[in-house]
Amino acid sequence: MRQARATKGGSDVVAIQGLIERLQRDYAARRPRSRALYSRALERLPGGNSRTQLYFYPFPFYASNASGAQLTDVDGLTYLDFVNNYTSLVHGHRGHDLADMLAPHVSRGTAFGAPTELELDLADEICSRVTSVEQIRFANSGTEATLYALQTARAFTGRDIIVKVEGGYHGGHDSVQVSVRRWSNDGLGIPEVGVSSAMRRQTHVIPFNDVDAASRKLRSLGNEVAAVIVEPVMGAAGAIPATQAFLTELRLLTEEVGALLIFDEVLTLRLAYGGAQELYNVQPDLTAMGKIIGGGFPIGAFGGRAEIMEVSDPRRAGMLSHSGTFNGNPIAMAAGLFALHELTRDRIVDINARGERMRRHVSKAAAEANVAITASGLGSLLQLHGGTEPPHDFRDALSRPRELVQAAFWILLAEGVFTTPGRTSLNVSTAVGDVDQARVHAALERVMEELGSAVG
């Protein structure tokens, strides 16, 4: 087989950039209503949005309605949705089913200053699936889930320092907004824009999938470490799975130094009935959750061993306060329970198999077109990268040429397949059937054909 072209510079890059610009012009010309709405948004919203990752040049399309795996924009154009609100819609768009199920709950009231039985029902469901979670508390987002998981770890251990993986995204709070997009070579994190410089001393970083570096860092910090937080599959960094050795070693190291191990399963809970921790057979002390457990409504949760979670027990002196006007909201609880009941073991096996077939198809189509694109991921989560082998960590992913992957996003969008802007990642919902899968495979073949032709 010939060496796949990697477009590292020169005429290949110029050709790909020309292709991208043509696709962007075609995109804009076909979406006058979205363009008008974006112009209006710029008057009231900084940059035209309230959610940074939704922006892409020249403007994002505006959604109108959706059903199943299909999304329609305000200009009447339809897409197969493989963004699914960034993995939260594991069943795709189930508006009518959800509306029918939620109607009696809404009629009884949408929020109370009192607990409801639905909160207990969803807690029971999650704890029965995720065996490391004996007790749980609900919040309103994945960001809140990781924030309170870290506060819980500090309260339980009496220590301050957090260790995270460079490139790991765990939400928008200061403790984890360190070395998300950048790295240093001194083992200390780099606070992101707007984050206190004090976080450089409070949050240390380790490379992903580097057992030796993790061992050196944790043993050097010893009894100063409150917790290590890690995604079993890195999301924003590129859908990069952890190795078994890495997660196993983190479990042993945290036990050795008396720190807690926190799994951020906001994205990865979908990968197995009991989350990614079931796949890896590694039990964390605390787990942060979100997205699929809300059935399309805002939600977060964190939980773990009862002896740890007891730091939030309001009957205790010196307890950790955990507030939130919409914690345990009955509509989110009901929607989450509906979503999890429908996410059976068989359905998880099916969407994971579909994701694996897509990864194989990317490799096959890229090789046949002699294009250097590969797909990373695990189960129903995948992302495109430049190169012929998936990246093994954040630095590896960041060093890959981006032109081909950026072009792939635009070609897929022109073919009616919606993937995440900037990353060209996909997640498979249970709404995807064989016809949808065939359509995606055809679109991926089109991507490779166009890229192969562009770089000659």
Question: Which residues are CB-contacts of 2 (< 8 A; sequence separation ≥ 6)?
Answer: 370
Average pLDDT over residues 206-234: 97
Structure tokens at 173: 């709070």
HEC profile of the chain: CCCCECCCCCHHHHHHHHHHHHHHHHHHHCCHHHHHHHHHHHHHCHHHCCCHHHCCCCCCCCEEEEEECEEEECCCCEEEECCHHHHCCCCCECHHHHHHHHHHHHHHCCCCCCCCHHHHHHHHHHHHHCCCCCEEEEECCHHHHHHHHHHHHHHHHCCCEEEEECCCCCCCCHHHCECCCCCCCCCECCECCCCCCCHHHHEEEECCCCHHHHHHHHHHHHHHEEEEEECCEECCCCCEECCHHHHHHHHHHHHHHCCEEEEECCCHHHHCCCCHHHHHCCCCCEEEEEHHHHCCCCCEEEEECHHHHHHHCCCCCCCCCCCCCCCCCHHHHHHHHHHHHHCCHHHHHHHHHHHHHHHHHHHHHHHHHCECEEEEEECCEEEEEECCCCCCCHHHHHHCCCHHHHHHHHHHHHCCEECCCCCCEEECCCCCCHHHHHHHHHHHHHHHHHHHHHHC
Is the pLDDT at 456 greater than 90? The verdict is no
CATH class of the domain at 11-94+345-455: alpha beta
Return the pLDDT at 198: 86
Average pLDDT over residues 35-49: 97
Q: Alpha carbon 187 to chain centroid distance?
A: 25
Do 11-94+345-455 and 109-342 fold alike per CATH? no
Return the pLDDT at 183: 75
Grade residue 138 by pLDDT with cuts at 50, 70 and 90. Answer: very high
Average pLDDT over residues 62-68: 97
Question: Which residues are CB-contacts of 35 (< 8 A; sequence separation ≥ 6)?
Answer: 28, 58, 59
Average pLDDT over residues 309-314: 96
Strand pairing class (78-81; 417-418):
parallel
- What rounded mean pLDDT belongs to the chain? 95
Is the pLDDT at 8 greater than 60? The verdict is no
Is the pLDDT at 1 greater than 80? The verdict is no
Is the pLDDT at 358 greater than 60? The verdict is yes
Average pLDDT over residues 275-293: 98
Return the pLDDT at 187: 63
Is the pLDDT at 2 greater than 90? The verdict is no
Residue 58, preceding peptide bond in cis (omega within 30° of 0): yes
Fold of the domain built from segment(s) 109-342: Aspartate Aminotransferase; domain 2 (3.40.640)
Return the pLDDT at 12: 87
Return the pLDDT at 95: 85
- How many angstroms separate the CA atoms of 222 and 207, rounded? 18
Q: Where are the domains of the chain?
A: 11-94+345-455, 109-342
218 in Cβ contact with 204 (< 8 Å): no
Is the pLDDT at 68 greater than 90? The verdict is yes
Is the pLDDT at 335 greater than 70? The verdict is yes
Grade residue 185 by pLDDT with cuts at 50, 70 and 90. Answer: confident
Return the pLDDT at 189: 80
Instruction: Please write the tens of the pLDDT for every residue from 410-450.
Output: 999 999 999 999 999 999 999 999 999 999 999 999 999 99
Return the pLDDT at 6: 56
Return the pLDDT at 96: 85
